[in-house]
Structure 1
Amino acid sequence: MSFGLPYRYVNDKEILSHIGKPAELLVVDVRDSDFIGGHIKGCQNVPSNSFLDSVHELVKQNESVPRVVFHCALSQSRGPKAARIYAESRQDLLPNAKEQDVMVLRGGFTQFQAKYGTDKDLVENYRKELWDC
């Protein structure tokens, strides 16, 4: 972990080979109404506006997943906040659990879709017209 944070930032390349493999990686997308237009394959959408109500169940359901990566549109606010809450909740709920790598996707889905939006192995429900600005 860097700077005392309970998570670390990760670049897209570090997680590419794990996408779509739920035993290796859980991707948590905390976008709210901006979830439309596509998402990382196999992600779990837990909107930031209801994240606190869902975090304990999320922790318990994914206790054995070795890597959990959070993101929002840009991963500047909602994604890092969710990662912090998740990591702290996990420590409280599962203090003796095996270590889990909690990460935040640098650049969020905005950067990810710019590189991989049309790659059906990495992105589901992609709508290019929503991203062309």
Structure 2
Amino acid sequence: MLVTTGSAKPMKYMTAEELAALMKSGEKVPSKDFLVVDVRDDDFAGGNIVGARNHPANKFMLSVPGLVKETKDLPLVVFHCALSQIRGPKAARIYEETRKNLFPDATGEIVVLREGFTKFQSLYKNDPTLVEKWDEQYWSSEWS
């Protein structure tokens, strides 16, 4: 589903179920066929999507050129934060603009995980192939 985020073109979103299906399909290899980029800051401590790379939003502008160079040939890059309302979409837009400037011919898809890690962990926290380092104490008080 496409939703306009104020950038020149609509931002694409992927649901938690779609990402889980992609990860479990066995057809796609993380870091070769896709990469999940988690831009949460301190809230990364409560657990993460297996294989996700943490590029904190508060330092994203410094890390984005290197990230773009490493991932320019990937078919899919998925961004998220806790809820994917501000940090995730903003990082995806910055990544997209940086990639366009550095590698205008790059064609990989850039998407945002709808409802972020909060939704993903609520569905898959007990699946070690999808979520790692999940901290029950972190999520039980504020997020459940």
Give the TM bin, normalised by the shorter chain.
over 0.9
Normalized against structure 1, the TM-score is what? 0.92
Matches within 5 A, 1:44-123: 44-97=53-106, 99-123=107-131
Q: How does 1:120-131 map to 2 (within 5 A)?
A: 120-131=128-139
State how many pairs are aligned: 132
- TM-score (structure 2 length as normaliser): 0.86
Q: For structure 1, list consecutive stretches of 5 or more residues without a partner in the other structure.
A: none
Does residue 23 of structure 1 match 2:32? Answer: yes
Equivalent position of 1:11 in the other structure:
15
Instruction: Determine the C-alpha separation between the residues in 1 that align with 2:19 and 2:33.
Output: 10
**Aligned-pair CA distance for 1:2:** 4.9
% same residue:
48
- DSSP 3-state at the match of 2:137: helix
CA apart distance, 1:130: 1.1
Tell which deviates more after alignment, 13-22 or 115-124. 13-22
Gaps of 5+ in 2: 24-28
Q: Secondary structure at the match of 2:46?
A: coil
The 10-residue stretch of structure 1 (81-90 or 7-16) with the greater mean CA deviation from structure 2: 7-16
Equivalent-residue separation in structure 1 for 2:74 and 2:127 (angstroms): 24
Cα distance in 2, alignment partners of residues 119 and 54 from structure 1: 30
RMSD: 1.5
> Using the alignment, how far apart are the partners of 1:5 and 1:82 within structure 2?
15
